[in-house]
Amino acid sequence: MRKWHHASLAVALAAAATLALTGCGGGGSGKKDDKPSASSSTGSKHGGTSGAAGGSAPSATPTAVLAQLKGEAGMTVTINAAVRDPGGFVTVQGVITNNGDETFDAVDWRGLETELVPSGPSVAGAVLVDPAGKKRYYVLRDTGGMCLCTMGLTGIEPKENRPFFAQFPSPPAATTEVEFELPTMPPAKITISEG
């Protein structure tokens, strides 16, 4: 009876260890560049983001600084990347920082177009300007009219940072220098890199 009890305990412990190791594996493919699904990139606690033209919002914000825009109420927009994708669009990524003393809602950054109202407080009003080609590129929209950009930019507390992204149609391949414009902020020159 005693041997049977020890054998049962050993089997139970082995099964528990196997389950624990299986749970830690993550079930991934082992690739380091796996991207989150569209459902994991939408619906964050701050209102989420629209899916990107390539499927989902960018998963990480680079740390290089291409430009910094400083505007009203102590708000700073730092642009970390502007990458041209072979699919025909440019993704701009960065960080929004509230250096002011009050909570900030990005209502004015949505732009004035009536069609952009459903995007709510967002960077939907951002524009890439190609001065040499004399063209303006507006934030892309999905089939429902929502911007392909970070939405839900409300309640940004003092000293808080929020990542953002916005996707635009790609200027011609020869165009690498553009201006990034956001309502209420001064324009900034940025360089587009190849993805």
pLDDT score, position 62: 61
| Beta-bridge partner residues of 90 | 84, 168
pLDDT tier, 9 (very low <50, low <70, confident <90, very high otherwise): very low
Mean pLDDT to the nearest integer, 22-38: 38
The CATH class that applies to domain 59-194 reads mainly beta
Mean pLDDT to the nearest integer, 64-85: 95
pLDDT tens-digit map of 39-68? 333 333 334 444 444 444 554 546 789 999
pLDDT score, position 47: 40
Closest Cα to residue 106, out of 137, 75, 142, 139?
75
Task: Kindly report whether the global pTM for this prediction surpasses the value 0.75.
Answer: no
The 3-class secondary structure across 63-88, one letter per residue, is CCCCEEEECHHHEEEEEEEEEEECCC
DSSP per residue over 9-64, as a string? HHHHHHHHHHHHHHHHTTT--S-TTPPPPHHHHS--TT--BPPPTTSS--S-----
How far apart (Å, rounded) are the C-alpha atoms in residues 48 and 138? Answer: 20
DSSP per residue over 131-164, as a string? TTTTEEEEPPB-TTS-BSBBB----B-TT-EEEE
pLDDT score, position 112: 83
Q: For residues 113 and 9, which has the higher predicted lDDT (pLDDT)?
A: 113
pLDDT score, position 93: 97
Task: Collect all residues with Cβ–Cβ distance below 8 Å to 124 and sequence separation of at least 6.
Answer: 109, 110, 111, 116, 139, 147, 149, 151, 166
pLDDT tens-digit map of 119-142? 999 999 999 999 989 999 999 999
Show me where the domains of the chain are located: 59-194
Residue 112 contacts residue 15 (beta carbons within 8 Å): no
